[in-house]
Amino acid sequence: MKKDRFLSRRYRPFSRSFRRLNDLQKKRIYRLRFQKFTVCIVFLMVGVCLLAGYQMLFFPRIKLLGSRVVELEYQEKYEELGYCSSYRGKDISSKVKVKGDVDSSKLGEYQITYEVQYHGATTTKTRIVRVVDSVKPKITFSASRKKLYICPDSKYLYDDYQAVDNYDGDITKKVKVDEVGDKMRYQVEDSAGNKTVVERKIYYQDVESPTLTLDNETVLVNKGDYYQDSSYQVLDNCTKEVSVEVSGDVNTNQVGEYERKYRAKDKAGNVSEIVQKVIVMEPVKKGVIYLTFDDGPRSGTTDIILNILKEKNVKATFFVTSGGPDDLIKRMYDEGHSIGLHTASHDYSVVYGSIDSYFQDLAIVSDRVEKVTGQKSYLIRFPGGSSNTVSKKYTPGIMSYLTKEVLSRGYRYYDWNIDSRDAEGGKFTADEISNFVTSKLSHDKVNMVLMHDVKVTTKDAIGKIIDYGKANGYTFDAITPYTDMVVQRVNN
């Protein structure tokens, strides 16, 4: 044994003197070295166990739930995975203090520290959160993604694509475009090294229709007047050789709606069409009285007005809302009166809140009328009239836009030139309302009378107005889509 220890001390493995030993001596040296190594490992493990036991006995423990290294995508919200802490079997998780923030709007590595102090001892653990960008940039095209059509005898101008990255933003300038055989290849790489490659097959072919526009898609012509085709503009992506044909007859001697079709065709045979609506209007009917009623229907007033109109054989126009019973609207329609669209809500802040808000409100009352009567109405009266200024409070300039837009959508709007003043809070009697109207009637103009079928005084005044009109040579009529519009000056 002493001899083995002597050999181990004197001869180190792989030394020159060690190589001169015989095999038995070498084996003895290896065995002694291994025994020493094993003893060291045992002592090390015992030390680690003693240290761990000491920490368990005298230090609080923290256990992190989930991974200690977390990868978080850019702009993704960091959510704590959780932790628990104990001391000699007692739960002290509530005493853990968590420090550190993660800014997912910036790439990088963030450290979350968990610390607990208990009985004078402190334990700390950390979690690493890496904010990364692993999302590839996107390449989009204004035309087809898979196919690229290029005008014959021309070159690709590399201008119909865009590259956007979730982190770098617009990186279109980084796109590399190469023509590979019969394909165009687009490549782009963001700052994080994410790469996108898109290929499109090339076709030298004109497949795009000409762009055809008209000055007016709805034209109003008075009966007997001369009608002239509107001017148009036509553009084509590949050629200037575009033919335009116009078809469809318009008889200006007959009131009604007509269609004129404009058809553009390029060299490749691509076609685009626009249909123009031509409305031949009734001649201006001077001396005619148009009785118009807003805000209804309403039980107890509208039905009485309908009784009077039926008794006196007079047709009128009702601009309705979404209130009141459907059966009164049905009765108006069945008895030959015209039904127009006033408003669904009659709330100025809603109606004039925006362009979209106005047409959404209009659609509601329009759908109601069509559902009850089976007929779509294109007659409109703006709440407050087209001259109202209250709309400026909600959307400046909205009336200037709406008065043009409703016409382009095929509607006709009607204001008034005689105000019965029946809506002024019950200030006037039925006789006074009747006098306001009859005093302003004239045989030299269209008499468009504003009244409200929800007012009690109106139902009492209507008979007197009709009797006066008939006695003085006036006639009564209902508004149609071909009736000449009576409009006021737009003030917003």
What's the mean pLDDT in 209-223?
A: 88
Q: Which of 204, 226, 253 is the last residue of a domain?
A: 204
SS3 447: strand
- Based on the domain organization, do 345 and 451 belong to the same domain? yes
Q: Which residues contact 485 (CB under 8 A, 6 or more apart)?
A: 412, 413, 414, 415
- Residue 76 reports pLDDT greater than 80: yes
Q: Is residue 254 part of a domain?
A: yes
- Based on the domain organization, do 384 and 245 belong to the same domain? no
Q: Dig out the tokens for 461 from the structure.
A: 């005044």
- Average pLDDT score over the chain: 89
Distances (CA, A) of 271 to 33, 229, 233, 259, 315: 94, 20, 14, 18, 47
Q: Which of 241, 238, 237, 234 is nearest to 273 (CA)?
A: 234
Residue, of 142 and 443, whose pLDDT is higher: 443
Q: Is residue 56 part of a domain?
A: no
What's the mean pLDDT in 22-50?
A: 69
> Which amino acid is present at 256?
G
What's the mean pLDDT in 226-248?
A: 90
- Based on the domain organization, do 349 and 455 belong to the same domain? yes
Mean pLDDT lowest for which of 39-48, 189-198, 245-254, 354-363?
39-48
How would residue 231 be classed by pLDDT, with cut points 50, 70 and 90? confident
Mean pLDDT lowest for which of 54-63, 212-221, 265-274, 342-351?
54-63
Separation of alpha carbons 318 and 314, rounded Å: 13
In this predicted structure, what is the pLDDT of residue 45?
80
- Based on the domain organization, do 67 and 173 belong to the same domain? no
Residue, of 215 and 109, whose pLDDT is higher: 109
310, HSE (Cβ side, Cα atoms, 13 Å): 12
- Based on the domain organization, do 346 and 412 belong to the same domain? yes
Q: Is residue 485 part of a domain?
A: no
In this predicted structure, what is the pLDDT of residue 58?
64
In this predicted structure, what is the pLDDT of residue 20?
56
- Based on the domain organization, do 232 and 292 belong to the same domain? no
Structural domain of residue 150, as residue ranges? 139-204
Residue 309: exposure state from Cβ atoms within 10 A (0-12, 13-18, ≥19): buried
Q: Is residue 490 part of a domain?
A: no
Q: Is residue 54 part of a domain?
A: no
- Residue 1 reports pLDDT greater than 50: no
What's the mean pLDDT in 87-111?
A: 92
How would residue 50 be classed by pLDDT, with cut points 50, 70 and 90? low
- Based on the domain organization, do 200 and 84 belong to the same domain? no
Q: Is residue 468 part of a domain?
A: yes
Are 318 and 295 within 8 A, CB to CB?
no
What's the mean pLDDT in 105-120?
A: 92
What is the pTM for the complete model shown? 0.59
- Residue 9 reports pLDDT greater than 60: no
In this predicted structure, what is the pLDDT of residue 144?
82
- Based on the domain organization, do 305 and 442 belong to the same domain? yes
Separation of alpha carbons 378 and 410, rounded Å: 7
* 336-392 tens-digit pLDDT: 999 999 999 999 999 999 999 999 999 999 999 999 999 999 999 999 999 999 999
- Based on the domain organization, do 356 and 432 belong to the same domain? yes
> What domain count does the chain have?
5
Distances (CA, A) of 300 to 230, 295, 306, 475: 50, 14, 11, 27
In this predicted structure, what is the pLDDT of residue 159?
83
In this predicted structure, what is the pLDDT of residue 35?
72
What's the mean pLDDT in 144-151?
A: 87
Q: For residue 124, how far is the Cα from the chain centroid?
A: 50
Q: Which residues contact 111 (CB under 8 A, 6 or more apart)?
A: 100, 126, 127, 128, 129
Q: Which of 132, 150, 176 is the last residue of a domain?
A: 132
- Based on the domain organization, do 225 and 337 belong to the same domain? no
* 435-487 tens-digit pLDDT: 999 999 999 999 999 999 999 999 999 999 999 999 999 999 999 989 989 99
Are 86 and 61 within 8 A, CB to CB?
yes
Q: Is residue 146 part of a domain?
A: yes
Are 98 and 127 within 8 A, CB to CB?
no
- The enclosing domain of 194 has a CATH number of 2.60.40.10
- Based on the domain organization, do 246 and 340 belong to the same domain? no
Q: Is residue 361 part of a domain?
A: yes
How would residue 217 be classed by pLDDT, with cut points 50, 70 and 90? confident
- Residue 90 reports pLDDT greater than 70: yes
Q: Which of 132, 154, 189 is the last residue of a domain?
A: 132
- Based on the domain organization, do 446 and 298 belong to the same domain? yes
- Residue 71 reports pLDDT greater than 50: yes
